[in-house]
Structure 1
Amino acid sequence: MSISESSSGPRTLRRGLAVLAALRDHGSTGLSITDIARLTAIQRPTIYRLLAALLDAGLVLPVPGTKKYQAQWATRPNAPTPDPRVSQALPSLKRLAERTGDAVFLVVRDGDNSVSLHREIGSYPVQILATYAGKRQPLGVGSGGMAILAALPNPVAHGIVERNSEYLDEYGGMTPHEMLRLIENTRSRGYAVVGNHAVRGALGVGCALLDPQGNPMLAISVTAIIDRMPALRQREIASWIHAELASLSLRGA
């Protein structure tokens, strides 16, 4: 059973339909998470889980260049070209999902945001599905994004945190001060450890792949329920991610 399926069927269905109806009524303009919560009276963590399922089903799409979503009622005639980074990293993502049993994510930077390119689901009965392909959020909110953010020079990283400061509270009450502390922790530890701010009780471990100049190219993260993430396992998972990133680097990713 995944966290996104933990509610009773009829109630979850009604909530999902309410989200779809709200998005339908606003057409291509789309709605943000905050907008959907206001219109449907559904709590934001639940909306994240519903959107994850609706995105997977192709019923909802992100509005490009925004933090909004829109309903998608028909199959798009011209599907976007798959990102080559996904095909390059896919064997690593699958191995990590099989090895850990948990959800694995491929994340890249887009300006001040992180974008999830792909996720692989593990075999453990409870999966963290709040993040999905195409999801954008402030860089550093998730463990993959934090690994990228911490790899940037201080002036760049601090500038990103400052520009995103007005949005951070939407993610579990994250603050700029906490974000800066996580950056320092990530640098000293060598990998990011971040509680999932969309789903309570979840924790992610993320590591970044750097180019020869030390610039972050992408990150891979593994997210699970906190009970599965004691400190020893966090280190173990980080070592597995680092090994996969090293193989990607050798292949020229």
Structure 2
Amino acid sequence: MHTSPALSGHAPPGITEDATSHAVGPRTLRRGLQVLAALRDHGANGLGVTDLARYTGIQRPTIYRLMAALMEAGLAHPIAGTKRYRAQLAQEAGVAEADPRLRQTLPALRRLAERTGDAVFLVVREGDESVSLHREIGGYPVQILATYAGKRQPLGVGSGGMALLAALPDDEARGIVERNAAHLDEYGGMTSHEMLRLIENTRSRGYSVVGNHAVRGALGVGCALLDDEGVPSLAISVTAIIDRMPAQRQREIAGWIKAELARLQG
């Protein structure tokens, strides 16, 4: 869960913000760059907070704050199923920008983020995986940044991926679940049986609702856009803390997403 931490603290009593920014700002920036450099040095394997503290000499509580800021900026990401983080690779950062599906949907994503106040995600399918192309952050103070541009995970783990998976023919969907079965436990204890149940629920409901799997304490609602042949081409999802997602609001958000998808289709 993310609460949009600032890189620098508030000014102490009797000291102006300008005065503290000259002292605190550069020091915080240098520390953030130290952490980012350490992550980049370790490539795809990444580092945990304890390792980062050892490499940089920065205390762990500060590491946590810096990591939150780096993740908010899209410069670092958690490695699924581990307690490590890795730096965002430059070639990954350009993937979403070059994808025509993002250009097509970006206005809709921004409207949904403004309307819901929550984080909105654009997700597509690649084989047995879902790939996040973009996230748009809403205005509510607590944002669930469940994924980031370029992140891959088994199709169906998140609400966007589940919307795509459930829109596939049954045999194809079951085959994907079977092939991904060995990796599902890394996502909040997800099982093949639970995944199949979510597929059925999504089909009967008309939209996906996935909670407490990819991110604890979060719940997402997703809908897929189908092409002329009925094949899901992309999905849009909205994710928020569970307290903001009672059943009535889930239905409301699904309606908003469907309205935006209908506009895209038209």
* TM-score bracket for this pair, using the shorter chain length: 0.7 to 0.9
Distance (whole Å) between structure 1 residues aligned to residue 74 and residue 139 of structure 2: 23
Checking the alignment, whether the CA contact within 8 Å between 2:3 and 2:141 is kept in structure 1 is: no
1:122 equivalent in structure 2: 138
2:183 aligned with 1:167: yes
Distance (whole Å) between structure 1 residues aligned to residue 209 and residue 74 of structure 2: 31
After superposition, the Cα gap between the structure-2 partners of 1:126 and 1:216, relative to the gap in structure 1 and judged at 3 Å, is same
2:45 aligned with 1:31: yes
Residues matched between the structures, number: 234
Checking the alignment, whether the CA contact within 8 Å between 2:130 and 2:153 is kept in structure 1 is: yes
2:211 equivalent in structure 1: 195
Which amino acid is the alignment partner of residue 146 of structure 1?
Answer: M
Q: Which of the numbers 140, 144, 153 marks the counterpart of 1:137?
A: 153
- 1:22-72 per-position Cα deviation (integer Å, ceiling 9, x unaligned): 644534xx127xx8589779xxxxxxx987854554644899xxxx98546
Distance (whole Å) between structure 2 residues aligned to residue 4 and residue 161 of structure 1: 34
Which amino acid is the alignment partner of residue 45 of structure 2?
Answer: L
Distance (whole Å) between structure 1 residues aligned to residue 70 and residue 172 of structure 2: 35
What stretches of structure 1 of length at least 5 have no aligned partner? 42-48
Distance (whole Å) between structure 1 residues aligned to residue 50 and residue 125 of structure 2: 29
Distance (whole Å) between structure 2 residues aligned to residue 198 and residue 3 of structure 1: 18
2:264 aligned with 1:248: yes
Distance (whole Å) between structure 1 residues aligned to residue 49 and residue 154 of structure 2: 19
CA RMSD of aligned residues (A): 3.8
- 1:183-204 per-position Cα deviation (integer Å, ceiling 9, x unaligned): 0000000000001423211100
After superposition, the Cα gap between the structure-2 partners of 1:244 and 1:58, relative to the gap in structure 1 and judged at 3 Å, is closer
1:152 equivalent in structure 2: 168
After superposition, the Cα gap between the structure-2 partners of 1:203 and 1:38, relative to the gap in structure 1 and judged at 3 Å, is same
1:86 deviates by: 0.7
Checking the alignment, whether the CA contact within 8 Å between 1:54 and 1:60 is kept in structure 2 is: yes
Task: Tell me the percent identity.
Answer: 74
Distance (whole Å) between structure 2 residues aligned to residue 50 and residue 110 of structure 1: 32
Pairing 1:10-21 to 2, within 5 Å after superposition? 20=36
2:107 aligned with 1:106: no
Distance (whole Å) between structure 1 residues aligned to residue 262 and residue 172 of structure 2: 25
After superposition, the Cα gap between the structure-2 partners of 1:69 and 1:172, relative to the gap in structure 1 and judged at 3 Å, is same
2:18 aligned with 1:2: no
Moved over 2 A (4+): 1-6, 16-27, 35-41, 49-63, 68-73, 78-81, 196-199
Distance (whole Å) between structure 2 residues aligned to residue 163 and residue 105 of structure 1: 25
SS of 2:235's equivalent in the other structure is strand
Distance (whole Å) between structure 2 residues aligned to residue 174 and residue 188 of structure 1: 21
After superposition, the Cα gap between the structure-2 partners of 1:72 and 1:129, relative to the gap in structure 1 and judged at 3 Å, is closer
Which amino acid is the alignment partner of residue 149 of structure 1?
Answer: L
Distance (whole Å) between structure 1 residues aligned to residue 122 and residue 242 of structure 2: 20
TM-score, normalised to structure 2, is: 0.74
Which amino acid is the alignment partner of residue 98 of structure 2?
Answer: P
1:132 deviates by: 1.0
Distance (whole Å) between structure 2 residues aligned to residue 31 and residue 50 of structure 1: 19
Which amino acid is the alignment partner of residue 246 of structure 1?
Answer: A
After superposition, the Cα gap between the structure-2 partners of 1:181 and 1:82, relative to the gap in structure 1 and judged at 3 Å, is same
1:45 equivalent in structure 2: none
After superposition, the Cα gap between the structure-2 partners of 1:149 and 1:61, relative to the gap in structure 1 and judged at 3 Å, is same
After superposition, the Cα gap between the structure-2 partners of 1:229 and 1:40, relative to the gap in structure 1 and judged at 3 Å, is same
